[in-house]
Structure 1
Amino acid sequence: MCLGALALGVSEFAAMGLLPQIAGDSGAAVPEAGLTISAYAIGVVVGAPLFALLLARTPRRGLLVGLALLIGLGNLASALGHGLWGISAARLLAGLPHGAYLGTAAMVVASLAPPERRASAVARVLLGLSLANVLGVPLATWIGQAASWRLAFGIVAVIALVCAILVRLCLPAIGPGPAIGAGREVRAMLRPQVLLALATAAIGFGGMFSIYTYLAPTLTEVTGLAAAHVPLMLAVFGCGMIFGNLLGGWLADRGVMRAIGIALAAGAVAQFCFLFTPVSVVGVTLNIFLIGATSMGLTPALQTRLLDVAPDAQMLASSLNHSAFNMANALGAWLGGLVVAGFGWTATGGIGAVLTLAGLAIFGVAVMLQRAEAEQPVEA
C-alpha cells in the first residue's frame, strides 16, 4: 500500500517540475499549462467523497486493487494525452482515486494493526508520499527532462500496476464496511469534531504549501543557489518529511491530540524562521528539513484523529482528509503568491506561520470542545 502512495506522490508533485515540458508539447504557455495541475487537484477533491460514498460497501482488498488500477489508468492516459484539454482531462482522471486510495489504505492498516500501533501503521503507508519527494519526483523530473515527460507518467502507471498486483497477493481478504447508508455518513461528516479536524488540515497544512510552492525561486533568487542544486534541496525537504512522518506516527501512538499540537506549534516556528534563513545555505538547508519534518509529522496524527471522531464513516473521513490537504495546497499557493508579489520571496515564511497558527487555533477549539464534552455529567 505504501507503493501506491509512492505512485500518487510522484504523479502529483512531478507534474509541477515537468510543467515546462508539458506546456511545450501541448502548445500552451506555462501559466496556461498550470490547468493540468489544477485538474489533478480538482480530481482529488471530487473523487475522495465520491468514491467513499459509492464504494463504501465494496470489500476493502478489491477496492484497493481497483483504485490502484485506476491510478495506473489515469497516468497512462496522461502519458498518451494530446493537447492542453486532453492532458488536463487525463490528469483529472489520475486525481480521482488519490484521496480514496490513501484514505482506504489508512483505514485498512489501522484496522489490522494493534490499537497502540495504529498511527505508526498509517505513517508507514503515508511514507510513500515522503519517499516520492526524496527519490521519485527528482528521478521522474530527470527522466522527463532527459527523455520525455510522457515516459515519467508511464513509469508511474507501471508502479501503480505493480501495487495492484502486490495488494491482491499480500493483503488478506477484508470484508466491506457496515451498511449505514450515504445519508448517515454525510451527517457524520457534519459533527463538530470532524469539521474541526478537516479545517485544521485545510488551513494548518496550507503554511507548508505556501513555502514549498515558491521554494525553488527563493533558493535561486535569495540564497543564490544554481538551478541545478535546487533538486538537492528538494530532496532535503523530502528527507525531513520521512523523518517527520515516522516521528509523527510514533508520537500519535502515545497521544493523538498532543501529537497534533506539537506538530502545529513546531511547524509555525520552523516556517517563521524561513523569513530569515534563505540568506544562508546552511541555515536554509536545516530550515527546509524542519519544515518538511513538522508538516509531515502532522499527517498520521490527523488521519488517526479522523478515524476516531468518525467511527461510523471512517472511509469517507479518511478520504476527505486528503481533499482537505489539496485545499491547503490551493490556499497556501494562492496566499504565498500574494505575499511574494508584495514583500518578496521570503515572505512566504510569514504567511506560512500565520496559516499554521490559524490551524493551531482551530485545533485549540477542538481541544476545548472535547474537554467540555468530557466534563458534562452523564445522565442516569
Structure 2
Amino acid sequence: MPFAVYVLGLAVFAQGTSEFMLSGLLSGIAGDLDVSLGAAGLLTSAFALGMVVGAPLTALAGRTWPRRRALLFFLGVFVAVHVVGALTSSYGVLLATRVAGALANAGFWAVALVTALAMVPPHQRARATAVVVGGVTVACVVGVPAGAALGELWGWRSAFWAVALVSVPAAIALLVAVPGGRSDDAPGVSARSELRTLGRPRLLLTLLVMALVQGATFCTFSYLEPLVTEVTGFGAGWVPVVLALFGVGSFAGVTLAGRMADSRPEAVIGLGMTALAVGWGALALAAAHPVAALALVLLQGALAFGTGTTLITRVFHLAPDAPTMAGSFATAAFNVGAAVGPWLGGLALGAGLGFRAPVWVSALLMCLALAGAGALAASSGAVRRNLTARRRPAPER
C-alpha cells in the first residue's frame, strides 16, 4: 500500500476528530460564548449540513484541479478555519467556521477517496478505501476522547488548536507523497456528463442503501450514553469506555473489510447488512445485560464500518467515469445518514418510547436498507440476464 494512502488517512483522522469532538465540548463553548446549549449544539448540525451540501459543490468546483493542489487547498482552508475558531469570541464567527470547515472537509474527502483508488491496482481498491475511512474510526477511538480531555484541561479552544496542529504534518506529507495529477480520470468528460452518470438508478439506490446503513449506525451511536447508563446500568465513567469499544470495533471492521471486499464485495455487503439488522435488534433486547451489551457494541461497530466501507467502494465501481463526483456523493450519503439517524432516534426518545427506542429505530432502518439491497440485487440480476441474452448467438434458420 503506498505511503500516500496512509497520509490521506492521517488527514481524515484530524478532520474526523473535528467533526465529532464537539459532543464533549458543548458545555464549555456555551459558557464561554454566553449562548445556550441548544445554540452550541447547532455547531454540530452546521457541520453536518455543510458536509452534505458541500460534498458535490466542492467536488464540482475542483474536479479539474490537480489532485495534490486540491487536497492541499481543502486541508489549508480546514486548518485556517480552526485557527479562526480557536481565536474568536463570536458565536456567529464560530458557526461560520464550522460551515466553512465542513465544506473543506467534504471537498477533501471526495478528492482523497479517488486519489487513494488511483494509486493502487484494482484488486486493492477496497483496502485503500478502508485505510482512508479508517481515519474516521481512529478519530472515534483516540481523537474524540482526546479532544474532550483537552477541553476539560485547557478549555474547548485547545481542542481546535490540536486539530489544526495535527493537520500540519499531514499537509507536509501530502505535498511530498501525493503525485500531481488531475482530480478526475476523464479530462474530456463534462460536469454535465458526470452528473448524468450519477443519475443512474443502480447508483442512486446504492447511495440510498448507504445512507440508511449510516443512519442506523449513528442513530444508536448518538444515544449510547443514555442506553448504557439507564438500561445497562453502567456508571457515567463507563461511557468513554463503551464509545471507545465501538470505535475499536469500527477500526477492526474497516481493516477486515478492506482485505475481503476486493474479492467478494457482494458477500461482504449482504452478510454485513443482514448481521447488522439482527445485531441492532439483539442489542435492543439484551441491553440490560452488561456482557452481552458490550459484546454487541463491539460487533456492531465492526459490522457497520466494514459494510459502509465496502458500499463506498461499490459507488466507485458503478461510476468509473465520474470518480471525483462519485466520491462526493458517497460523502454526502454518509453524512445524510449521520444527520438523519440521530434525528430519528431523538424523535423516538421524545415520544416516550424508552432508551432502547433508538436501537429499534436502527434495526428498522437496516430492514429498509436490506429491502433496498434486495432491489439492487434484483436489478443486477436483470442486467446480467440481458447481457447474456445479447451475447447469445441467434438461432440458425
Q: What does the per-residue CA deviation read over 1:303-323, in whole Å, with 9 as the maximum and x for residues that have no partner? A: 111111111111111121121
> 1:60 maps to which residue?
67
User: Pairwise mapping of residues 317-336 of structure 1 onto structure 2 (< 5 A)?
Assistant: 317-336=326-345
Residue 101 of structure 2 corresponds to residue 94 of structure 1: yes
Aligned-pair distance for 1:176?
4.1
- Corresponding residue to 1:353 among 363, 376, 380: 363
Match of 2:43 in 1: 36
2:196 to 171, 183, 187: 187
Q: Could you tell me how far apart the structure 2 residues matched to 1:203 and 1:77 are?
A: 35
Deviation at 1:82, TM superposition (A): 2.6
Aligned to 1:371: 381
Deviation at 1:107, TM superposition (A): 1.3
In the alignment, the residues of structure 1 paired with residue 105 and residue 13 of structure 2 have an alpha-carbon distance, to the nearest angstrom, of 11
Q: How big is the shift at 1:48?
A: 0.7
Aligned partners of 2:183 and 2:324 also within 8 Å: no
Moved more, 253-262 or 238-247: 253-262
What's 2:130 paired with? 123
Whole-angstrom distance in 1 between the partners of 2:87 and 2:210: 34
> Partners in 2 of 1:302 and 1:40 — Cα distance?
23
Quick one: which amino acid aligns to residue 267 of structure 1? L
Give the residue type in structure 1 aligned to 2:224: L
Rounded to whole Å, the distance in 2 between the matches of 1:360 and 1:2 is: 29
Question: Normalization by structure 2: what TM-score?
Answer: 0.92
Q: Which amino acid aligns with 1:30?
A: L
**Alignment partner, residue 203 of structure 1:** 212
Q: 4+ runs of 1 displaced by more than 6 Å?
A: none
Does 2:62 match 1:25?
Answer: no
**Contact 1:204-1:357 within 8 A present in 2 as well:** no
Give the one of 282, 286, 291 matched to 1:273.
Answer: 282
Distance 1:326 1:77, change over 3 A: same
Between stretches 247-256 and 308-317, larger displacement belongs to 247-256
Tell me the alpha carbon deviations over residues 45-75 of structure 1, each in whole angstroms, 9 at most, x when there is no partner: 1211111111111111221121221221222
Once residues 220 and 372 of structure 1 are traced to their aligned partners in structure 2, the CA distance between those partners, rounded to angstroms, is 49
CA RMSD of aligned residues (A): 1.5
Match of 1:105 in 2: 112
Question: 1:152-163 to 2 correspondence within 5 Å?
Answer: 152-163=159-170
**Equivalent residue number for residue 140 of structure 1:** 147
Q: Which runs of 5+ in 2 are unaligned?
A: 1-7
What do the CA deviations read for 1:62-108 (whole angstroms, capped 9, x no partner)?
A: 21121221221222222223333221111111111223222222211
Shift of 1:289: 0.6
The equivalent position to 1:168 in structure 2, one of 162, 175, 183, is 175
1:315-370, Cα deviation, whole Å (9 max, x unpaired): 11112112111111221111111222321111222110110121121121111111
Cα distance, 1:175 vs structure 2: 3.3
Letter in structure 1 aligned against 2:305:
M
Q: In structure 2, what residue type is equivalent to 1:321?
A: A
- Alignment partners' CA distance in 1, 2:53 and 2:365: 24
SS in 1 for 2:287: helix
Q: Does 70-79 or 241-250 show the bigger shift?
A: 70-79
Q: Provide TM-score, normalisation by structure 1.
A: 0.96
Unpaired runs of at least 5, structure 1: none
- Identity rate, percent: 34
Does structure 2 retain, via aligned residues, the 8 Å contact 1:61–1:171? Answer: yes
Q: d(CA) in 1 for partners of 2:342 and 2:309? A: 23
State how far apart, in whole Å, the 2-side matches of 1:182 and 1:135 are: 38
* Matches of 1:71 and 1:364, distance apart in 2: 39
**Alignment of 1:73 onto 2:80:** yes
